[in-house]
């Protein structure tokens, strides 16, 4: 099998999604499964739906469209405000959009009118993380404006935390959202079916004793795919953290001095390395780099240490000579996953077997050099 590649075990993803759906259902919260880190993979979306998510959330219109062309007819939510230039495509492919600007809302209204459909609107509210959203004090005015526009239906409000500034979801900001939802319903006499409290970073708050209040939806990507929560990147009990792994192939393996020689200046990617230890390292190079993944976001499964990377070389301390042509497997963080899925150089292998079968065309070499035995 060619490398570099990203291997995605759909059974583990389904397990993770099912556990999260069940856990949140006990709190009266539904899950929107977010597919953007997978480049909108229709098979991953279908896996999340099998696990019981209520809708698919995507931030990119291209991904929504490719999932639609693959035959997915499920509710699709555009969780990043559509740009003015794509409102027609947003209305044509998704059921509702998360929005913040009245200009976009007006454009969605006319696009929906000309297509003869009703488009759902979820207003994003700023609650401190300083990414998208209207300030809470402006929400009333904006709802009033939206209610006057044809072919729109106000479906709810939402917020997003822990993405730009790392503000953690807590009782205080979640209560603020709940209070806002109830006051909109009272002031305008409309129901708000969706109160979307945030992303995977909300799971700690959810697991606390705090009452969910009016929050009835979370948009989950990272926790389903990588099995961890993003605030402290701790694994979530009972979830797989190795559903997605990155595999690269060895192209050089030699004992080398562990200290570079010559004048040290910047590398291709900024500051050079500090002069490390002494003696000799068994240095192994893999055919992968910044153009395939985020090297800083890879975690070797065992025994080796990543020393550095450039566009297309990943250098590791392997402690021993590794046969050329063998493969090494790494766990991915969110950044490594996102970049690997987006790189045209990385083969995507989706499997529904719990032990992926790889490298069977090279029987003379270890299938996957994992140091700690086969990957479970
Ligand atoms: C990416 C994104 C999510 C999903 O976040 P995870 O941390 O991957 O769960 C949710 N909501 C919005 C608005 C997003 O952009």
Could you report the per-residue pLDDT of 8-53, keeping only the tens digit for each? 999 999 999 999 999 999 999 999 999 999 999 999 999 999 999 9
Query: Mind telling me the catalytic residues?
Result: 36
What's the whole-model pTM score? 0.92
Q: Which atom of ligand 1 is nearest to the CA of 220?
A: 9
Q: Which atom of ligand 1 is nearest to the CA of 160?
A: 13
First to last CA, the chain: 19
CB of 36 sitting under 6 A from ligand 1: yes
What does the longest C-alpha to C-alpha distance in the chain come to? 74
Q: What is the pLDDT of residues 254-308, one digit of tens each?
A: 999 988 888 888 888 887 766 667 789 999 999 999 999 999 999 998 789 999 9
| pLDDT of the residue at 273 | 67
CA of 370 to the centre of ligand 1 (A): 31
Q: Which atom of ligand 1 is nearest to the CA of 218?
A: 10
| Cα 376 versus chain centre, distance | 23
Residue 348: both structure tokens together: 């995507």
Is 27 buried (19+), middle (13-18) or exposed (0-12) by CB count in 10 A?
middle
CB of 196 sitting under 6 A from ligand 1: no
CB of 131 sitting under 6 A from ligand 1: no
- Is 284 in contact with 252 (CB distance < 8 Å)? yes
CA of 88 to the centre of ligand 1 (A): 23
Residue closest by Cα to atom 14 of ligand 1: 79
31, 32, 34: residue to mutate for ligand 1 pocket, most atoms within 8 A of CB: 34
| pLDDT of the residue at 373 | 31
- Is 91 in contact with 108 (CB distance < 8 Å)? yes
Residue closest by Cα to atom 2 of ligand 1: 199
CA of 221 to the centre of ligand 1 (A): 6
Indicate if the pLDDT at residue 83 is higher than 70.
yes
Q: Give me the DSSP letters along 192-254.
A: --EEE--SGGGHHHHHSS---TT--EEEESHHHHHSEETTTTEEPTT--S-SEEEEEEEEEEE
| Residue written as token pair 């488009």 | 119
| pLDDT of the residue at 14 | 97
């Amino acid at each position: 099998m060619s490398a570099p590649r990203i291997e995605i075990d759909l059974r583990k993803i389904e397990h993770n999604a099912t556990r999260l759906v069940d856990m949140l259902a006990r709190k009266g919260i539904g899950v929107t499964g977010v597919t953007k880190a997978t480049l909108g993979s229709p098979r991953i979306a279908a896996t999340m739906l099998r696990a019981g998510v209520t809708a698919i959330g995507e931030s990119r219109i291209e991904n929504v469209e490719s999932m639609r062309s693959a035959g997915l007819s499920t509710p699709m939510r555009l969780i990043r405000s559509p740009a003015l230039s794509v409102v027609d495509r947003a209305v044509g492919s998704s059921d509702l959009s998360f929005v913040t600007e009245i200009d976009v809302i007006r454009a969605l209204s006319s696009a929906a009118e000309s297509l003869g459909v009703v488009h759902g609107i979820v207003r994003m509210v700023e609650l401190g993380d300083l990414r998208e959203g209207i300030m809470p004090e402006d929400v009333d005015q904006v709802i009033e404006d939206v209610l006057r526009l044809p072919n729109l239906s106000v479906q709810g409000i939402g917020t997003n935390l822990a993405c730009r500034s790392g503000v953690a979801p807590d009782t205080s900001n979640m209560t603020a959202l709940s209070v806002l939802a109830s006051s909109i319903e009272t002031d305008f006499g409309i129901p708000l079916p969706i109160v979307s409290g945030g992303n995977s970073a909300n799971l700690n708050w959810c697991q606390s004793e705090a009452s969910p209040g009016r929050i009835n939806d979370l948009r989950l990507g990272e926790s389903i795919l990588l099995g961890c929560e993003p605030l402290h990147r701790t694994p979530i009990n009972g979830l797989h953290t190795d559903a997605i792994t990155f595999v690269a192939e060895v192209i050089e393996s030699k004992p080398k001095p562990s200290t570079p020689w010559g004048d040290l200046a910047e590398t291709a990617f900024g500051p050079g390395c500090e002069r490390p230890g002494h003696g000799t390292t068994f240095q192994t190079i893999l055919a992968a780099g910044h153009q395939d993944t985020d090297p800083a976001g890879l975690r070797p499964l065992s025994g080796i240490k990543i020393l550095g990377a450039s566009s297309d070389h990943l250098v590791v301390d392997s402690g021993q000579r590794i046969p050329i042509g063998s493969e090494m497997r790494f766990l991915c963080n969110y950044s490594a996953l996102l970049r690997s899925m987006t790189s045209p150089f990385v083969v995507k292998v989706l499997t529904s077997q719990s032990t992926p079968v790889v490298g069977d065309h090279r029987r003379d070499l270890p299938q996957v050099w994992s140091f700690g035995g086969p990957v479970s």
